[in-house]
Structure 1
């Protein structure tokens, strides 16, 4: 039915090669920008390729979240906001096409200009750009947004700000940003900062905004009602300024969108079954096959849609906090990986239908290759041989069990690794030379029953090694706060990765995150090799160099043994009311937050 998706049989590698093989344009105004070369869509494009340009508008949809929220500001470090808000109500100078590895097109800005070395970038605002209250977007708003987010906003915005030398107004609708760092990606990242209204925050503390005031943005949707911890309702602005832009044609089609909050995923699913929710994403293939046969599905009122993609697997699993002495030794981490009986756990939890993540960039052309490092990848790694862990150069594979619960062979290997690192069993308890027992807790979000099951099975295996494991299940606010402060031993971890990795890698694995609260480096990775390989990616000028740098980074991260990987989400699985439709042409990134609900529509017939 949606065979158009498969028109790109080798899109991942071919797309990256195309983007990297063309020289950058000289400094002249353009409608869009790609990481390398030219964006795929011409200046006169009429819509994004994965949007149905003539989609009808109207209808109401209801989605569900687990946990709660205590702020409506998704751009600050303090508090927990509904994650959807920053995608639904706010815009940036440029917008991203999810059918290309990394290309941007004018949104609030009508043009972008940057020189060949990308040492600066200049944007020209659209004269018609407006905030949701009808006021015009000014260069002053842009500069304030960059400065505020870069200094008191969420950490995801601060890394970019540290690389800005100056930001100045160069014309009535022009703003120029000069960079202090050689980094080709910065010109694109500059186009992706959300633009907020400066005057709203006069005399107020932006960083301490709470649950009663949402920032004013330029997006099509605005919060109209909310009840902290219970629901948030958004309505499409009938005067939305950008509804006629080619970038917006066929998108943002619903009149109303509402988010209901539930204590756990089981209650959420029951609400969906009785029609209280319009759509849910299912991440467990076993549940998808076995639990979606309730009456609404049998009648055809609920439709199951599968959305393929070509993005990397990312990394999902149990992250070990290497800031804790217990996990500092790589042999201990490898022992815990051997003790994790993936084949048995996967069979129990998902029916064994979802493949395992084998590296951070597996399932893509950017992933590490089997066997020893060769060619350019080896050349990038060899100067740091003394800092590499076993397997980075020689080759590394995750252990495989026989699928039975006992997992004897891997547990024997785990025992040897623990003994080699100074841990031995005394009276049934694994202890070090000082007599300290090997015990830790796993931090989980309340309602995450799937991971609770995983940890329960895992704990039984560890008990056979003399290790005591407890589960620390907390509400959403405590979960976020404790992860931000790295107050955990082990925790559930998920990091999506793209076909165009760049500066965000510093936030994910950079050594600043070892001590800086709120980074995405939950594992506490502190590696000089990682610090050296990220710039290699950012400043690559050829396809081979870029791909080799990412594959080398993938080797270092995977052989760091920081995460016990579980299954990958090999496709998107969305169950939805039959009235919800989406285009036949799918983006290479598949189902991301910008896919549902952005390009979906409501068809009452």
Structure 2
């Protein structure tokens, strides 16, 4: 539908009319939208390239989570919910293909329309789209969902709402969202908001209610049974509206999926070995090689599968809370990196077979290249040269240990940096510039045995520098609350990153949210250079521009020494019962909830 305000311009000159006509032609409705270039799949595609369109339906699977849950509302700010729930029970207007950097195909929407500058986006709903109770998905539901999630939903949904100038119906099944500022990715993000049923929440807030108030969604699965903190069972909706869509064909194949909850990873593993769970992901290469020789595996009833991927390493390690002095001093952070004997720790915990993360986008073309910045990267960083962390422009490499357990060479270098930062040793204690002993608190979730082993080795090294280090183990609820309140010195950290980085980068390390409770910027980065590189990424109109800006951002983040990186998950590792089958061609993003269980199936 074309807006009425263009009609008065029709009598203008032929040249202007032609320009307007060309603009409209560029904004024609399409079945898909890509961040850069054209979508890979045609309008009539049979299935996603990593799904088996002929996969049989049926079977029951059981997965395990550690911790617990006290909510079945993934959209409220309060409570802890099963993390899989948004993937299984809820849908958005568009769905993502994980075999392309960032391309969306119609899901609840049958088409999408954007102008060349992507200042707005218009969606047309599928007439057949239904909620799990059978009621139709309406434009009113969509507009209400955007507004409600953006004003009273979980914090992760609120930032997008502030970027919307207007949202309005343009027809019985269509709506247009106009954006408040220039950002080409906003049209993509608009297609990924979950859509909820307005009528369910009439007269009350989305955050109201108890565990029994489960939001109604449009997804293939509904909650069929649960016991708080112990299990949740999801049943495939036999009347699921989208079963015949190309985007859904060959996906969501199990009749029932159950999640059991365990106190820690050790108990969960024992449950898998006993046959109580259907599949488990293993993130430790040493355990992968040594811990899967139990009887069921020896009989062939359990199979080990490795899934390759081409995505960035992301960042895994221990994030440093730089809001707190003295962690705001890069020299202290460099000393902490030097004291972290990665080579010895990696050999102890993983058998030394997992490579170390070297930067946030390592393993892809988006990662900065070793050595001095040049070309477009250098141009982007030049205005900030005086304030960049040392090593940004010259090139920064993580410290390497000397191969010994005591790591004396790096500890001597760490002591030198500490001295430069104003620290001194007195009676075996490291005193800060203020004369107070330096004490570190590592916040750790109970049951995280691998990270506890890592920290036990690390704290011994810190003690040799005179640093008192304490590991604080707390339960899942306390951990979530303390991280949200930014109450930690260092804590385990993981950020998965995309081949098409965008607005999530502001959430992860943008300065606007650095001091807000609940922020995802856990390190407290507040750098004009970081903000500027993110802005450049979001303004990029070509892949070359995106690559240059991302490499520049990668330099600033890595040289900022905000995280002590550990190992990279170079392949996905899944151990599963032999009845679970999967297509032979994994997506470029490899394993994840979009792969297992989404495109797997049960077959005797």
If the length of structure 1 is used for normalisation, what is the TM-score?
0.95
CA distance in 1, matches of 2:295, 2:205: 50
SS in structure 2 of the partner of residue 222 of structure 1: strand
Q: Residues 469-494 of structure 1: CA distance to partner in whole angstroms, max 9, x if unpaired?
A: 10111111111111111011110000
Partner of 2:304: 304
Partner of 1:10: none
Task: Give the alignment's Cα RMSD to 1 decimal.
Answer: 1.2
The answer (yes or no) to whether the contact 2:36–2:543 under 8 Å persists in 1 is no
SS in structure 1 of the partner of residue 326 of structure 2: helix
CA distance in 2, matches of 1:209, 1:97: 35
Partner of 1:17: none
CA distance in 1, matches of 2:380, 2:416: 32
Partner of 1:456: 456
Q: Residues 533-589 of structure 1: CA distance to partner in whole angstroms, max 9, x if unpaired?
A: 111111112222110000000001111100000001100000000000000111000
Change beyond 3 A, Cα 1:214–1:77: same
Q: Residues 87-135 of structure 1: CA distance to partner in whole angstroms, max 9, x if unpaired?
A: 1100000000000000000000000001001000000000000000000
CA distance in 1, matches of 2:432, 2:248: 61
Partner of 1:510: 510
Q: CA deviation at 1:24?
A: 12
Q: CA deviation at 1:206?
A: 1.1
Which one is further off, 483-492 or 432-441?
432-441
The answer (yes or no) to whether the contact 2:507–2:513 under 8 Å persists in 1 is yes
Query: Do residues 563 (structure 1) and 560 (structure 2) align?
Result: no
CA distance in 1, matches of 2:562, 2:24: 37
Structure 1 segment 446-485 matched on structure 2, within 5 A: 446-485=446-485
Q: Residues 122-173 of structure 1: CA distance to partner in whole angstroms, max 9, x if unpaired?
A: 0000000000000000001000110111112222222211110000011000
The answer (yes or no) to whether the contact 1:25–1:37 under 8 Å persists in 2 is no
Query: Do residues 535 (structure 1) and 530 (structure 2) align?
Result: no
Q: Residues 380-416 of structure 1: CA distance to partner in whole angstroms, max 9, x if unpaired?
A: 0011112201010000000111221110000000000
CA distance in 2, matches of 1:576, 1:367: 33
The answer (yes or no) to whether the contact 1:25–1:116 under 8 Å persists in 2 is no
CA distance in 1, matches of 2:513, 2:467: 29
CA distance in 2, matches of 1:529, 1:402: 33
Number of residue pairs the alignment of both structures matches: 582
The answer (yes or no) to whether the contact 2:221–2:234 under 8 Å persists in 1 is yes
The answer (yes or no) to whether the contact 2:346–2:567 under 8 Å persists in 1 is yes
Q: CA deviation at 1:80?
A: 1.1
Partner of 2:348: 348
Partner of 1:338: 338
Q: CA deviation at 1:511?
A: 1.1
Give the structure with higher Rg (CA): 2
Q: Residues 417-476 of structure 1: CA distance to partner in whole angstroms, max 9, x if unpaired?
A: 001001111000000243200101101111101101111100000000000110111111
If the length of structure 2 is used for normalisation, what is the TM-score?
0.95
Partner of 1:142: 142
CA distance in 2, matches of 1:379, 1:136: 52
The structure 1 segments of at least 4 consecutive aligned residues displaced by more than 4 Å after TM superposition are none
Which one is further off, 151-160 or 40-49?
151-160
Which one is further off, 301-310 or 221-230?
221-230
Change beyond 3 A, Cα 1:209–1:442: farther
Q: Residues 68-93 of structure 1: CA distance to partner in whole angstroms, max 9, x if unpaired?
A: 11111112222211100011100000
